[in-house]
Amino acid sequence: MTELSFIHRYEPATDPKRPPLLLLHGTGGDENDLLGLGRMSSPGSALLSPRGKILENGMPRFFRRLAEGVFDEEDVRFRANELADFVAEARRAYGLEAPVAVGFSNGANIAAAMLMLRPEALAGAALLRAMVPLSSAPQVDLAGKRVLMISGAMDPIIPADNSNRLAASLSASGAEVQHQMLPSGHNLSQTDLSLLVKWFGQPGQ
């Protein structure tokens, strides 16, 4: 594995027509967590999967939080820029186009922050159980970027109005947002995978 600024896993593409994926785990996950999901969602895509650098009670995350659902926004900004720099580094090292982020929970939140702060780093994003990462979203142009958001109507961590607010904010910035609300909680289900496969199979992805 090439030495870069984040501990990570990399799997080269076997289908050059598929976009590279940036896989971003949830709290307590690591660089191995979403490899299976990435392989199933977009078979043949190159997979780039970093491990979050923040430890919360020994569990890796991508940024600090002050309490559940309360983010350290200064750290969110710092870490989103740090991760975008890693993506640029990895693109040079592995010869990749801008990746599509596939993030779960904390990983989805840092992906949303990257879209808002460093839009050039990502070609698009699939945000699974995401919430608003920054209380005041910067003005940004996301025209041409496709975003899939999948939320859980019974998610105990993320109120529905919060995920709806994030979807509206990304849409207002010009992203082509598809927001699905599932009758589920915070954990992923087979339906999430089916929606991912369908979204990645659509033209333009």
Active-site positions read 105, 155, 186
Q: Which residues lie closer than 8 Å to 185 by C-beta, 6 or more apart?
A: 152, 154, 155, 156
Contact 115, 170 (CB under 8 A): yes
Please give the Cα distance from 45 to 169 (Å, whole number).
28
Is the sign of the CA dihedral 107, 109, 110, 115 positive or negative?
positive
Residue 148, beta-bridge partner list: 126, 178
